[in-house]
Amino acid sequence: MEIVILVVGSLLLPSLLYVVGRVAGRDVWGLVLSRYEKRGGSAYRAAEVPVWVPGKTPRSVKVAAITSFLLGQMVIPGALAALVGLVVSLEMFGRPVEAMEPIVLILTASAPSGLFVAGSLLGLGVLMLRRGPNAAARARWVARWSMVHNVLLILTLLIVCGAKRDIVPIVAYALVSLAHVALLFVAARALDAHDEAQAGENLPAPGETATTAAG
């Protein structure tokens, strides 16, 4: 029963933010250029006209948003854990060096950066869903920060603590975060591609071949 409550609780905030983002972004995807069609009564009068279709939220953007909410909500327990870690770390400075817990010190030192990433993900998810200004650029910026944070955290833990079993959950979570970084880059490309499609830049102009347009 406790597990069910935990799962439901962990999905409550992400689900709410996802709904808010989808509602806010309902009418922001506009029309995108799908293709050109020849229309006319004869071969001499035929003309190539653009065919526009309603834009939809790219699937990668949806997945990136919901996973951003899932990871971003960790800012709440993370802030509490950071406070506890700070108190424990300050208490450790009165102990001999061999009695210190390096994992606690590392996590406490990295907490500000981790909390910043988590908080940024909450806002980024909504920004992507409602196709806010510079959403793609913001996704790349947050992705780079998260990548640097998690890579440095993993390397520091491995160098200082070695292959201790205690660091496995932390490293595993960091690897999940790095996978999410890759997803953010994919979503950013999808947002850019949608902008190009809406501007009619992803298809060759009438009378051009795909090779001519690309070159």
Q: What is the rounded distance in angstroms from the CA atom of residue 58 to the CA atom of residue 194?
A: 8
Tell which wins on pLDDT, 2 or 62. 62
pLDDT band at 156 (very low <50, low <70, confident <90, very high): very high
Say yes or no to pLDDT of 120 above 70.
yes
In percent, how much of the chain has pLDDT > 90? 47
pLDDT at 182 over 80: yes
Is the CB of residue 196 less than 8 Å from the CB of residue 140? no
Q: What tokens appear for 96 in the block?
A: 């001999």
Q: What angle do CA 126, 132, 133 make, to 5 degrees?
A: 145
Q: How confident is the model at residue 23 (pLDDT cuts 50, 70, 90)?
A: confident
Q: What is the pLDDT of residue 214?
A: 36
Q: Is the pLDDT of residue 116 over 70?
A: yes
How far, in Å, CA of 213 to CA of 202, rounded?
9
If one counts every other C-beta atom within 10 angstroms of the C-beta of residue 109, the result is: 14
Position 70 scores a pLDDT of: 94
In this predicted structure, which of 103-107, 119-123, 183-187 has the lowest mean pLDDT?
A: 103-107
Is residue 97 pLDDT above 70, yes or no? no
pLDDT of residue 99: 62
pLDDT at 209: 39
Average model confidence (pLDDT) for the chain?
82
Q: What is the pLDDT of residue 93?
A: 75
pLDDT value for 98: 60
pLDDT, greater one: 76 or 45: 76
